[in-house]
Amino acid sequence: MKTFRSVYDWVLSWSEKPGGPKVLGMISFMEASFFPVPPDVLLLPLAIGNQKRAIWFAFICSMCSVIGAVAGYLIGYFVWWNNFGEFSKFAFLFFKFIPGFSIESFANIQSKYELWNFWIIFTAGFTPIPFKLFTISAGAFKINFVAFLLASFVGRSARFFLVSLLIKKFGEPIKTFIDSYFNVLAILFSILLVGGFLIIKAFV
């Protein structure tokens, strides 16, 4: 926990430095495959400090996160299994050191893909669910790459642009609302969206 807090504080410190946007892109890329701190931590103060560039910061987050998602997919596709179809030594490094990864959670995800496919990636990209777990597992289970890429782009862009638009519109007063309620509302929205899709599918 102490290590995570140190990393969190390091990320936050870049909000007051000239290289903040570059670090935002780097974190967005890394968080999609292994980094523990989400880019929202830096996106919020950067956007509040320069509201005119809030949309640009969202664009940086979205594009770099999608590129990072592709990197995660490739990790899962090429190096997650050994020659015997078992977890590789590389995979066990993730299970040991990367928060959110475990053999149990990874096994549970496979059944989710069989049911949801596109929607599980979208939900992971839009909500606070650890996105990296789903980018790597998508490659490991050989989920359709085009569907994966589209879901990642839509989910990540929706999250980051919504946050930036709220800040651009309302400024710093909205920060408390985002910190307190955004993740909950994102989860509820995803549930309603997927539920609506299933209802339509049942009657069409």
Here the tokens at position 104 are 């149990």
Here the tokens at position 91 are 């995979």
Half-sphere exposure of 103 (CA within 13 A, CB side): 9
Q: What is the pLDDT of residues 40-59, one digit of tens each?
A: 889 988 998 888 999 999 99
Q: What is the pLDDT of residues 70-119, one digit of tens each?
A: 999 999 999 999 999 899 999 999 999 887 788 888 888 887 787 777 88
**pTM summary value:** 0.85
Could you give the CA distance from residue 95 to residue 152 in angstroms, rounded to a whole number? 23
User: Per-residue pLDDT averaged across 182-203, rounded?
Assistant: 53
Per-residue pLDDT, 201? 46
H-type alpha helices, 80-182: 89-97, 103-115, 118-126, 131-140, 145-170, 174-177
